Amino acid sequence: MFYDLIDVRDLCAGHRLAMESPLDHVSTHGGNRYVMHGSGGFNGGHNIRFGTELAGIIRTEFPGLVVGVPKMATSSGKPFDLTPPTTVSDSKKAKALLGVTLRPAEETIRDCVESAIELGLVTVQLAQRL
């Protein structure tokens, strides 16, 4: 289970840049669409493995919290396919033509977790110190 991430703040900035741009978007290379994902440069631009890599980032960003262990199988017991995708997702057209910048995935995930904690959407459990 691999996912591309885009920080909603970067996505909104990309929309704004596209609206304000004097470019004729239809005539740009590839037409009038811009890819806005790519996991903020994580792992060379590869998608993030939802369970293990995401949990690892949360553990690194929040070392004092307990982070659960991701399930590695479907509800029917079939193991997840952990083969990384062969394609690299990026936002090179949006970066080149619009000047879009992407936050690192680690920053997006950290800020998302902080917001979830502040809003009371997750129950925080502190790690026990030995």
Q: Please, are residues 98 and 34 in contact by the beta-carbon 8 Å criterion?
A: yes
Q: Spell out the alpha helix ranges (H) of 1-130.
A: 8-20, 52-61, 92-98, 105-118
Q: Give the Cβ contact number of residue 47 at 10 Å.
A: 22
Cα 96 to Cα 100: distance, rounded to the nearest angstrom: 8
Identify whether the C-beta of residue 24 lies closer than 8 Å to the C-beta of residue 17: no
Summarised one tens digit per residue, pLDDT across range 60-87 is 999 999 998 877 778 888 887 777 777 6
Percent of the chain with pLDDT over 90: 32
Percent of the chain clearing pLDDT 70 (strictly above):
86
Would you state the pLDDT for residue 52? 80
Cα–Cα dist 90/11, whole Å: 13
Residue ranges per structural domain of the chain:
2-118
pLDDT at res. 59: 92
Each residue of 28-57: pLDDT tens digit? Answer: 776 778 888 866 556 655 677 777 888 899
Report pLDDT for 64.
92
d(CA 53, CA 44): 14
pLDDT of residue 27: 84
